[in-house]
Amino acid sequence: MIKHTVTNAELGYALATARHKDAIVICDANMPIPDGCNVIDVSLVRGVPTLVQTMCAILNDLVAERYEVFELMPQYNDAMYQKIQSLVPQLPGGTISQERLMETMKNAKAVVRTGDFGSCCTMVLYSASGMDKYVTQFNCDFPMQE
């Protein structure tokens, strides 16, 4: 039995099988998801879980080397963009266009649909190499929320 963090079986499997440079997309409940994607729906009710809660849970189990947020997030949801940057300052960040996001979703290890209904609450995490130096450099640990 897993000690903490991700207990969703499908998501846990996707994280355990993620290899270097694999994409994990975390999207809001409104994001159109192309057919054929490996969708893991963790939404429970409107607003639960949020993008940030989901990101933190995933990063407690996955070593990511970088992230990209949906290119419209800084413009339409700057508070969310600032929050993500403050939580993962050790990770290089960037933006991803809608066109590239749709292509990334098709090949992603998982597309995780949250219950977030915030504007432009979508991001991509890219799995890091398992080498010790990268595990240390990109380590992100978040306390479990009650």
DSSP reduced 3-state for 142:
coil
Reply yes or no on whether 4 is catalytic. no
Q: Which two tokens stand for residue 7?
A: 């207990």
Catalytic residue among 2, 17, 19, 20: 20
CA-based nearest residue to 68, from 106, 31, 38, 97: 97
> Are the CB atoms for 123 and 85 separated by under 8 Å?
no
Catalytic residues: 20
